[in-house]
Structure 1
């Protein structure tokens, strides 16, 4: 299977156990108007961890110690295949510390709150659930 793109996602958990989630805009090619952890394309010559740190800072204004958790490949409906690199981290940041750098909203959500929102189709894989 050829990989067309590589993406880094960040599953960032606050002290209350909530996960930082981004409401993606309607113009996004993948998962428009859905909620997913922040992340984005890995740039040419960039390693996945560097991309994860860059995306976290660009999209939220936050920094964190990140740990590689998993990678998986996903075939998209347009025929392309994307390799997803998932990193996890904990933060002392509060909601008011988050800067919305991309998307419609960026919120720390409980798992219960997530059930009330339209989530990305690969959310279970991103969060490490089966």
Structure 2
């Protein structure tokens, strides 16, 4: 049967965005997530970020998420690559890089337990979601931009 109404497009996969934020010492800003059973990767160290709202692109989402979660406006926000969180949310996550040289303890954290800068050599002892660890390793292997 013929219809004059165009079929609505199928929604694409869920998307999200995270930011690898470094300071002038080369440390990375990580976010200790709440220990709540209904969130992906509870009680893990991760990057600031989150899911895209309906119709929102990852670049807009990361700016919104940084502001909402930590009142943070990072410098030189640059899109890097995408990784799918196969073992958690299932989202396609766009990674961004940025710099920020402030005191992380002064940020108004609205989600999670704490923010802390870590030197790359200390990341191995932290509990980090596999896709976030992969993204950080990929970023660090590429060297300074």
Residue 37 of structure 1 corresponds to 47
The TM-score with structure 2 as length reference comes to 0.77
RMSD: 2.1
Bigger relative contact order, structure 1 or 2 (CA pairs below 8 A, ≥6 apart): 1
1:79-120 superposed Cα distances (whole Å, 9 cap, x missing partner): x63101000011132234422121011111112332232111
Residue 125 of structure 2 corresponds to 116
Taking the aligned partners of 2:108 and 2:68, their CA distance within structure 1 comes to: 9
Residue 105 of structure 1 corresponds to 114
Equivalent of residue 6 in structure 1, options 3, 12, 15: 15
Is 1:71 the counterpart of 2:121? The answer is no
How far residue 3 of structure 1 moved from its aligned partner, in angstroms, is: 5.2
Which has a greater percent of strand?
A: 1
Which has a greater percent of helix?
A: 2
Bigger radius of gyration: 2
Unpaired runs of 5+ residues, structure 2, are 1-10
1:1-50 superposed Cα distances (whole Å, 9 cap, x missing partner): x9542110011101111111000111152111110111101000111101
Is 1:47 the counterpart of 2:57? The answer is yes
Structure 1 segments (4+ residues) deviating >3 Å: none
